[in-house]
């Protein structure tokens, strides 16, 4: 049953216009990398490695593309069924609630990874062509995979808890991660984006001058695991209390 739910959810996520829009969104880093190759990055005052790790992958991919794609797929994975009422029929079947959440999180994660990981690898390899790689692309790829799972778990949880998951998710991405973590350093401890950057910094061999995350690797790994596990458990518990006719 879990595999069936996963396939149905994947079909729902990738068969809509949202998948096309997210795919087009994923081309932005590739476009930026192409512009960097065409005009060079020397005028920006950064080395190619710094531009790739800090600006291209750190800001554009991790700071914008990853959370927004995860938000769209994460809220749609369960939200569409809650909105059209089909969630009631799924929950009426004798299926363990953790399997339902696992299929939704898994489908949203795969869909998110397919777009963001492709964009990361293509744009990263483009801008670093002929340059010292410093493990930047593999490091960010692994970190983005972990961060994608954390993001979609949180967004699936939000969808199970409230009908305003998309709005709250946008607030988290743009206000909390985009603004508060800059002006309130303590907020970084509760930012998935910072966990991703911390893991990428740990896995790569970039110098401090090229790229340095705010959070240490140990903190990033620990907090990432906590977010995934706690988010999943809370989503399962919420789904167990879901009643027919209730707008989550």
State pLDDT tens for residues 188-235. Answer: 999 999 999 999 999 999 877 789 899 999 999 999 999 999 999 999
Greater confidence (47 vs 179) lies with 179
Residues in the chain: 248
Domain extent at residue 152? 2-240
pLDDT of residue 247: 42
**229 CB neighbour count, 10 Å cutoff:** 11
Assigned domain for 248 exists:
no
Residue 234 inside a domain? The answer is yes
159-186 b/e (C-beta count within 10 Å ≥ 16 → b): bbeeeebbebbeebbeebbbebbeeeee
pLDDT-derived band at 68 (thresholds 50, 70, 90) equals very high
- CB-CB contact of 51 with 134 (8 Å): no
Q: Please, are residues 81 and 165 in contact by the beta-carbon 8 Å criterion?
A: no
Average pLDDT over residues 91-107: 85
Q: What is the pLDDT of residues 115-148, one digit of tens each?
A: 999 999 999 999 998 788 899 999 999 999 999 9
pLDDT of 56 reads 94
Looking at residue 89, its pLDDT comes to 57
More confident residue, 61 or 38: 61
Q: How many domains does the chain have?
A: 1
The DSSP line for 59-118 is IIIIIIIHHHHHHHHHHHHHHHHHHHTTHHHHHHSS--HHHHHHHHHHHHHHHHHHHHHH
Instruction: Tell me how far apart the alpha carbons of residues 96 and 82 are, in angstroms, rounded to a whole number.
Output: 18
Average pLDDT of the chain, as a whole number: 89
Predicted local confidence at residue 135, as pLDDT: 93
**Percentage of the chain surpassing pLDDT 90?**
62
Residue 245 lies in a domain: no
- The pLDDT tens digits of the residues spanning 35-49 come to 988 887 766 667 889
- Is residue 247 one of the residues assigned to a domain? no
Can you tell me which residue has the tokens 């690797």?
217
* pLDDT computed for residue 71 by the predictor: 97
Residue 209 lies in a domain: yes
Structure tokens at 201: 């910094």
């Amino acid at each position: 049953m879990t595999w069936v739910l996963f396939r149905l959810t994947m079909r729902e996520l990738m068969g809509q216009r949202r998948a096309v829009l997210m795919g087009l969104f994923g081309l932005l880093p590739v476009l930026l990398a192409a512009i960097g190759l065409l005009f060079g990055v020397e005028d920006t005052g950064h080395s190619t490695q710094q531009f790739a790790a800090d600006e291209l992958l750190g800001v554009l991919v991790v700071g914008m593309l990853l959370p927004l794609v995860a938000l769209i797929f994460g809220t749609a994975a369960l939200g569409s069924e809650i909105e059209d009422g089909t969630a009631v029929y799924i929950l009426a079947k004798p299926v363990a609630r953790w399997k339902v959440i696992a299929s939704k999180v898994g489908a949203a994660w795969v869909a998110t990874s397919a777009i963001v990981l492709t964009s990361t690898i293509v744009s990263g390899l483009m801008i670093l062509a002929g340059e010292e790689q410093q493990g930047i692309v593999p490091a960010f790829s692994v970190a983005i995979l972990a961060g994608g799972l954390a993001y979609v778990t949180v967004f699936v949880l939000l969808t199970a808890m409230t009908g305003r998951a998309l709005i709250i998710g946008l607030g988290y991405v743009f206000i909390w991660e985009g603004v508060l973590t800059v002006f309130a350093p303590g907020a970084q401890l509760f930012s998935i984006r910072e966990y991703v950057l911390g893991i990428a910094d740990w896995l790569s061999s970039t110098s401090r001058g090229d790229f340095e995350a705010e959070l240490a690797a140990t903190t990033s790994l620990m907090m990432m695991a906590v977010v995934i596990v706690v988010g999943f458990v809370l989503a399962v518990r919420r789904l167990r209390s879901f009643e027919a006719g209730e707008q989550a």
